[in-house]
A and B are shown apart, each in its own frame.
Chain A
Amino acid sequence: MLLVALLSNGLLEIWFQYQTHTSSLGRIQSEQARAASAKIEQFIKEIQDQIGWTTQLPWAAGAPFEQRRFDALRLLRQVPAITEIAQLDPTGHEQLRVSRLATDVAGSGTDFSEEPKFTEAIAHKLYFGPVYFRRESEPYMTLAVAGARRAAGVSVAEVDLRFIWDVVSQIKVGQHGHALVVDAQDRLIAYPDLSLVLRNTDLSGLAQIRQARANSTDPTTPDPLEARDLEGRRVLSAYAPVAPLGWLVFVELPLDEAYAPLTASIERSGLVLLAALGLAFFAALLLARIMVGPIHALRSGAARIGSGDLGHRISIETGDELEALAAQFNEMAGRLQESHADLESKVEALRRNEAYLSAGQSIIQTGSWAWNVETGEIYWSQEVFRILGFDPKVHKPAVGASAALLSPDERQIFQQKLEAAVRERGEFAYEYRIVLPDRSQKSVQSVAKPIVNSSGTLEYIGILADVTDRRRGEEALRRAQAELARVSRVTTIGEFGASIAHEINQPLAAIVASGNACRNWLANGPNLGRAKESLDRIISDANRAGEIIRRVRALTRNRAPEQVPLMVNDIVDDVLTFAQGELDARKIAVRKEYLAAGLAIMGDKVQLQQVLLNLVMNGIEAMAPITDRRREVLIRSQRDDDGNLVVTVQDNGTGLDPIDAQRIFDAFYTTKPDGMGMGLSISMSIVEAHGGRLWVSPAIPHGTAFHFCLPAASRRPS
């Protein structure tokens, strides 16, 4: 804007200057032309006047010739331009000729009466002859002046126009400008370069001359004209007519000089304009620095902050509203940065939490899932994918995706449980086995809780736990416990080995004896009746031995525990079968109090026999040091207040140290020199596995009582 204004202003100024200058230049030049014209007119006029002075004397009066000659010579002296003066008498005959170039001629009488110089002079008192070139080089003009009176005749002067050159030369047009004069025939008469004049140059071809001729009828002074001069230079040309002669005076100024002031002015203006422009530019720069810079800084700063470079601060020190604005921007960016950092730390914390969660899920082999029942939207954690053997990049979570891994039966149960849970908006829990694509099997447990949000949308949030290892571990533990129990049982039976051997030896001895008797009966007589009786006993005793072996094998066989209805008194009797020998050997009396006849329990016969054997064996050993009283073990079965079965095995031995009583059920804790410390521990775990309890109490007045209670069969939780 500013530039356009300055530029137009400068251009306008230049244009006005140009107009003014051109017109003034034109005026000056026209004036010069007129002045030159006037000078030439003056010059001619003076010559004319001088000649007039010499043409006073009438020829008739017969003025002295010498006078005339003297006048002529004086004239020549006074007017250097006149080369030759001739005086014609009224008849037109030459009477006197005084010349600078030739000898004076007096009274030649040459008739010039028919010549224009005489006729025209007579007619118009004055005659200007055409310009001619003497010796084809010097411009001359014949000037004829008739005397005031007819008698005075006519004075004819040959005027050397080179003197006009002086006039013309004196006209200074600028530095390099010039004036020139052409005659009526457009021949060059005067020009600073004389050689051109002397060459009788015809200038009718020049545009300005043609123009001037065309305008000759126009009385007004024409404006100067741009044209080309003799040497082809571009000039500003003005002219003025030399009226009486029909000459034209041209004043020509080279265009470049003519317009030099204008050019200078324009240059000046241009410089000023440039300076102004420069100034404006610097001002603009300054302004930009002051105004635009901060705004730009503000804008780019805002852009950087906007693009996330929250650490960027806008630095503006203008001391104005911009600085305040920048300060606010900075403050805003600072707050943004703070909140962003806060957010980032929260995001980082979240990410870390998620990583922890994921790692934790991986460690505990439990994934989490969510299922929006209405929208069907499902979320699985990484661990769920891993457990199910799915690739998160390939598989999408779906309700049916995991169901596909189930066996058809389990799938049906799974679906039913799920549908029931959704219908009742209740919790869902199911443990099932899945078969992965690689045929490996897993035990997984799915537990979920329903969440109903405000809009009534039902969503399940749950976990999926890989319990394969746990189940395997439990199975292994169960097996190990069973094996340990069996080993312990075998050990216990080993302790009763002598007793058991006795129990088996008895029928065997009887069989042998009866067999021998039978043989004897057959040999002597034979007495077949007695022999048959012997055989009957043999069979009976063999059966008895077989029964004992069967019981021992049942105790030592490696088999899974089973849950069957049992009558506890039968178990006690069985146990005493094994223990009786030992009890007899140690002179221990057994007292049985069966107060709970008919009370059935659910359990494993062998395991419960093991418990009883253990307790009886403990009692036997506790009574070993007793010599001062009758050794007796009491086995009692009874119902407690809750209808459960309580079995007590009580000895009247040394009793139990209170410290031992606290630790006696710990594994590997033993009070016996050669004990393993497993019996009571295993008994405890067996009783607990049956949902019961095993404890110890002191017996009155001597000994220890072990008790275990078992839930009655009808009360046993399934």
Chain B
Amino acid sequence: MTDDPPTVLVVDDDPSIRSALHDLFESVGLRVAVFGSTREFLHGRRPNGPCCLVLDVRLPERSGLDFQRELKEANIRLPIIFLTGHADIPMSVRAMKAGAVEFLTKPFRDQDLLDAVQLALDQDRGARATERLVEALRGRFAELTPREQTVMALVVAGRMNKQIAAEIGTSEVTAKVHRANMMRKMQAASLGDLFVMAGHLGMAGKAAGPDRTDDA
């Protein structure tokens, strides 16, 4: 799977800012896509590669912060760097809590912006890798028999073989077989590995049922 080169997405209603940012990012060799509004952004094609969003806080129709929430709700994961003409602290706190990479006040030092962009791109790159891993884990998890999925959940929950056997109503030996099959199918080299995988699959530390892994 080949990724597109990293791309900076810019949403700003001010054409001067748009042009200047476009120019600036290009001058450091980044791919740039600019949008005059959030609607334009949503309708545009998102590149398949690491990217980040440089978002003006104040936009006509809806603010940048609202748009951040909308994206999150739409499960569109994208590191966001906020730009604002005048920032106040509550606004920046809210943005950062909501996962913003950086909150920059215009006019900003270019290095700050570029650093933030780099960080965001790295984040996205990592995120994209994690996402791919999780995809693979989900695939492996899907390969498990229902009984193996149950055993995995019980293992992650910290049950002993005897307990697992009691839970699923088999002998301890049978439970051991299921466990071994599960470990092999999940390509987990150790119990620790399995715990990490379980974390990626959203079942870490919980007695997760198999119904919680249907999402992909």
Assess whether B203 is interfacial by the CB under 8 Å rule. no
Asked if B85 contacts A537 (CB within 8 A), the reply is no
Residues of B within 8 A of A145 (CB): none
Chain B nearest CB: distance from A578 CB in Å? 13
Determine whether B86 belongs to the interface, using a CB cutoff of 8 Å to chain A. Answer: yes
Cβ of B63: which chain A residues have Cβ within 8 Å of it? Answer: 585, 587
Instruction: Please report the C-alpha to C-alpha distance between residue A541 and residue B61 in the assembled complex, in whole angstroms.
Output: 25
B41-69 CB contact bits vs A (8 Å, 1 = yes)?
00000000000000000111111000000
Kindly list chain B residues whose C-beta atoms are within 8 Å of the C-beta of A509. Answer: 17, 20, 83, 85, 106-108
Q: Cβ of B107 and Cβ of A541 under 8 Å apart?
A: no
Docked CA distance A544–B107 (Å): 15
Which segment of B23-31, B71-79, B191-199 sits at the interface? B23-31
Q: How far is the CB of A527 from chain B (nearest CB, A)?
A: 8
A516 within 8 A of B: yes
Q: How many residues of A contact B (CB 8 A)?
A: 33
**Stretch in A50-58, A339-347, A465-473, A500-508 with 4+ CB within 8 Å of B:** A500-508
User: Which A-chain residue is minimally distant from B110 (CB atoms)?
Assistant: A516
Taking the complex as formed, is A79 at the interface, i.e. its CB lies under 8 A from any CB of chain B? no
Give CA–CA (A24, B119) in the complex, Å. Answer: 190
With A502-B85, A510-B17, A584-B58 known as contacts, the answer to whether A530 contacts B27 (CB < 8 A) is: yes
Residues on the B chain within 8 Å of A123, using CB: none
Q: Enumerate chain B residues within 8 angstroms of A208, measured Cβ to Cβ.
A: none
Which residues of chain A in 510-559 are interfacial with respect to chain B, using CB atoms and an 8 Å cutoff?
510-514, 516-521, 524, 527, 530, 533-534, 537, 540-541, 544
**A38 at the A/B interface (Cβ < 8 Å)?**
no
Q: Which of B58, B62, B110 contacts A502 (CB 8 A)?
A: B58
Q: A510-B17, A581-B58, A584-B60 are in contact. Are A517 and B86 (CB under 8 A)?
A: no
Q: Which residues 481-511 in A have Cβ within 8 Å of B in the complex?
A: 498, 501-503, 505-511
B residues 1-53 with Cβ under 8 Å of A? 14, 16-17, 19-21, 23-24, 26-29
Instruction: Assess whether B86 is in contact with A537, with CB atoms less than 8 Å apart.
Output: no
Chain A residues within 8 Å of B21, by CB: 513
Are A510 and B19 within 8 A (Cβ)? yes
* Interchain CB contact under 8 A, B28 and A506: no
Residues of chain B within 8 A (CB-CB) of A512 are: 20, 107-110
Chain B residues contacting A508 (CB-CB under 8 Å) are: 106-107
Could you say which residues of chain A place their CB within 8 Å of the CB of B19? 510, 514, 537
Task: Let me know if B58 and A585 touch, CB within 8 A.
Answer: yes
Chain B residue numbers with a CB within 8 Å of A513 are 17, 20-21, 23-24, 107, 110, 113
Given A505-B106, A505-B107: A510 in contact with B14 (beta carbons within 8 A): yes
A511/B86 contact (C-beta < 8 A), A520-B27, A541-B20 known: no
- Give the complex CA separation of A498 and B86 in angstroms: 7
- CB-based nearest B residue for A523: B27
Residues of B within 8 A of A519 (CB): 27
* A533 in complex: contacting residue of B23, B60, B107, CB < 8 Å: B23
Residue of B nearest to A525 (CB): B27
CA A346 to CA B107, docked complex, whole Å? 88
Does A541 lie within 8 Å of B24, measured CB to CB?
no
Q: What number of B residues sit within 8 Å (CB to CB) of A?
A: 27
Least Cβ–Cβ distance between B82 and chain A, in angstroms:
13
Are B27 and A511 in contact (CB-based, < 8 A)?
Answer: no
Q: Among B27, B62, B106, B107, which residue has its beta carbon within 8 angstroms of that of A517?
A: B27
**What string of 1s and 0s marks CB contacts (under 8 Å) between A665-680 and chain B?**
0000000000000000
Q: Which residue of A lies closest to B56 (CB)?
A: A506
Q: With A and B bound together, what is the CA distance between A530 and B109 in angstroms?
A: 20
Chain B residues with Cβ under 8 A from A517's Cβ?
Answer: 20, 23-24, 26-27
CA distance A511 to B29 in the complex (A): 19
Give the chain B neighbours of A581 by CB distance below 8 A. 58, 85
What is the distance, in angstroms, from A588's C-beta to the closest C-beta of chain B?
10
- The listed residue with most B CB atoms (<10 A of its CB), out of A503, A505, A530, A534, is A505
User: Which residues of A from 387 to 409 have beta carbons under 8 Å from B?
Assistant: none
Q: Which residue of A lies closest to B25 (CB)?
A: A517
Q: For residue A505, which residues in chain B have a CB less than 8 angstroms away from its CB?
A: 85-86, 106-107
A123 → chain B closest CB, angstroms: 204
Assess A501 versus B85: contact at CB under 8 Å? Given A516-B27, A537-B16.
yes
B62 contacts A587, C-beta separation under 8 Å: yes
Given A502-B86, A540-B16, also A511-B107 (CB < 8 A):
yes
Q: Which residues of B sit under 8 angstroms from A534, Cβ to Cβ?
A: 20, 23, 27
- By a CB distance below 8 angstroms, the chain B residues around A511 are 20, 107
**A521 surroundings in chain B (CB, below 8 A):** 27
B residues less than 8 Å from A502 (CB atoms):
58, 85-86
Contact A506 B106 (CB under 8 A): yes
Chain B 111-151 interface residues, beta-carbon cutoff 8 Å to A? 113
Contacts of B61 in A (CB 8 A): 587
Bound Cα distance A587, B57 (Å): 12
Q: Specify which chain B residues have a CB less than 8 angstroms from the CB of A501 in the assembled complex.
A: 85-86
Q: Which residues of B contact A506 (CB under 8 A)?
A: 14, 16-17, 85, 106
Binary CB contact string for chain A from 643 to 670 against chain B (1 if under 8 A, 0 otherwise): 0000000000000000000000000000
Closest to A512 in B: B107
Q: Which of B16, B29, B109 contacts A510 (CB 8 A)?
A: B16
B85: which A residues are within 8 A, CB to CB? 498, 501-503, 505-506, 509, 581
Inter-chain CA distance A519–B86, complex, in Å, is: 26
Question: B62 — nearest CB in chain A belongs to which residue?
Answer: A587
Q: How far is the CA of A533 from the CA of B24 in the complex (A)?
A: 11
Q: How far is the CB of B133 from chain A (nearest CB, A)?
A: 36
Q: How far is the CA of A540 from the CA of B17 in the complex (A)?
A: 12
Closest A residue to B15 by CB, please name it.
A510
User: Can you spell out 23 A-B residue pairs with CB atoms less than 8 angstroms apart?
Assistant: A502-B58, A505-B86, A506-B17, A507-B16, A508-B106, A509-B85, A509-B106, A510-B17, A512-B20, A512-B109, A513-B20, A513-B23, A513-B110, A514-B24, A517-B23, A518-B23, A520-B28, A524-B27, A530-B23, A541-B20, A581-B85, A584-B58, A584-B59
Residues of A participating in the B interface, judged by any CB pair closer than 8 Å: 498, 501-503, 505-514, 516-521, 524, 527, 530, 533-534, 537, 540-541, 544, 581, 584-585, 587
10 nearest CB pairs, A to B: A520-B27, A502-B85, A509-B106, A516-B110, A513-B20, A510-B16, A517-B23, A510-B20, A517-B24, A509-B107
Q: A506-B17, A513-B20, A517-B27 are in contact. List 19 more A-B contacts (CB 8 A).
A: A505-B86, A505-B106, A509-B85, A510-B14, A513-B17, A513-B21, A513-B23, A514-B24, A516-B27, A518-B23, A518-B27, A520-B27, A527-B27, A530-B23, A534-B20, A537-B16, A537-B19, A587-B62, A587-B63
